[in-house]
Each structure stands twice: as structure tokens, then as C-alpha cells.
Amino acid sequence: MSEPDIWPRWLLGFILALHLCLAALWSFTIPPFEAPDEPGHARYVNFLLEHRRLPVAGEEARGEAHQPPLYYAVAAAVAGISGGGPVPTEVRRNPAFRWYGGTQENKYLHDMEAPAGTLHRLRLISVALSGGTILCVYLMGAVSGIVSRRAAALAAGVAAFIPQFSFISGSLNNDNLANLLSAAALACLVRGMRAGAGLGPWGIAGLFTGLGLITKFTSLAMIPCGLIAVWLGRNSGRGHAAV
């Protein structure tokens, strides 16, 4: 294998390893529930663990019960298999929090904080999912036939080190699975637009989009993306036929 082929893989490996380290560091250093909406996400996981059914929105699992269930089902399964119990969700708001007119950064009080083993395990799921998202960003470029693999690796690096992305990657949040499924769908759409790709990439893109829709409603954005990809692919095919 020539050096130009090896170099992008080493670069991608370095980017991926560094991102995973940063996200894992966030997962262990962010105090419980200081990441966006974590108490609501934890209540949803707890409800699935304890009741083995979906919560009624507005009545049970306060905060995130309106969300589609796939991410929470995965998290609950991992918590159950790993022997972790429900995540303690008793929180006390910090009256000195900035949004309440104070000067402190933390939204909740942590002076009597109990160990959050299950929460940290579930945060590590998000870390792993974020690594998959970075790989899919790389694949978008690598399968396009337009940019080099080196450029694809650099694009993955840009995505990996967006501050908010790396921060959310260390938290209990369904954005992480939605990001992975959307990135995977986009990579398949890019592959499908290439001449001679066949129906396989389109079908797999539809599968990832469907899974995204039962993860988070923002995955609806993949439907217009798919329609645009089909239109571009058909026009590209006509252009090649005309030549």
C-alpha cells in the first residue's frame, strides 16, 4: 500500500482517538445533569427500566417523554445488561446559577452528590456513538469520488472538534444516536448518487432514516436531503448518458 493511501488512515485514526478521549473526558468531568436536559433523558431511561413500556407524554418521565424511544431503549438495555440500576434523578437547583441572576456556572447543587455510576456508563454510549458519526463524515467524502481521502479525513476532523459536538458527545442525550444515523444516511446518499451504485445505498439510506425518525424528530431533515440526492443523482445520470 502506498504512502498516500496510508496517510489519510493514520490521520483519521488520530482524529478519532483524540475525539474519543475528549468526549470521554467530558463524560467523566461534567457534573451529573449539567449537560442539556440530562434529568429528562435519565427519567425516560429509568421509566423503561422500571416499567418496560413507553411513558405517557405529559404525565410520566417528565421532560423528554415526547421523544421517540430508540435511543432510550438502547440506553435502558445497556443499563440492564451492565447491571446498572436507575439513574438517581433527585436534583436541587442552584439559586446562584447565572440564569437565575447569580454568578455560578452550575445549574444544580452537587455538595451532597452520590456516585453516578449508571449515568457515566450511559454517557460512554454517547461517546461511542459520536465516534461512529466521525467515521460516517469521513465516508461521505471517501465515497463521493469528488474529494481525496485526505480531504475526507480533514472534514471528519472539523466535525470531531466542533466544541458543542464534542461536549454533547459526553452526555446522556438522544442527539448522539440521531447524529450517527443521519450521518450514516447521508454517506449512503452520497454513495447512491455515484453512477452505477445501484439501489443498495438508497435502500440502506432509507433504513438509517427510518431508524433516525424513531430516535429524534429532527431526523425528518433526512427526507428532503434524500429527495435532493435522488434529483441530483438522476440529473447526473442523464448528463453521463448525453455524453
pLDDT digits (tens, 9 = 90+) for 191-222: 999 867 788 999 999 999 999 999 999 999 99
pLDDT reading at 239 higher than 50: no
Check: CB of residue 136 under 8 Å from CB of residue 184.
yes
> At how many degrees (to 10) do helices 38-51 and 70-81 cross?
70
As given in the structure block, the three cell numbers for residue 146 are 469528488
pLDDT at 111: 67
Q: Tell me the average pLDDT across 228-238.
A: 76
Least confident of 3-12, 90-99, 101-110, 168-177: 3-12
Q: What is the number of other CB atoms lying within 10 angstroms of the CB of residue 241?
A: 8
Q: Which residues of 24-45 are buried (b: 16+ CB within 10 A; e: fewer)?
A: bebbeebebbebebbbbbbbbb
Burial class of residue 242, CB neighbours in 10 A (0-12, 13-18, 19+): exposed
Which residue's C-alpha cell is 438495555? 77
Q: How confident is the model at residue 98 (pLDDT cuts 50, 70, 90)?
A: confident
Q: How confident is the model at residue 100 (pLDDT cuts 50, 70, 90)?
A: confident
Helix (H) or strand (E) holding 167: helix 163-168
Residue (of 57, 110, 113, 117) closest to 86 by Cα position: 117
Number of helices (H), then strands (E), belonging to the chain: the values are: 9, 0
Is 7 or 225 the better-scoring residue by pLDDT? 225
Check: CB of residue 160 under 8 Å from CB of residue 16.
yes
pLDDT digits (tens, 9 = 90+) for 19-73: 999 999 999 999 999 999 999 999 999 999 999 999 998 899 999 999 999 999 9
As given in the structure block, the three cell numbers for residue 78 are 445497556
Which residue's C-alpha cell is 481525496? 148
Q: Tell me the average pLDDT across 230-243.
A: 61
- pTM value is 0.89
Q: How confident is the model at residue 4 (pLDDT cuts 50, 70, 90)?
A: low
- Cα separation, 83 vs 78, in Å, equals 8
pLDDT at 3: 45
Least confident of 30-34, 56-60, 113-117, 120-124: 113-117
- Report which residue type is found at 19: H
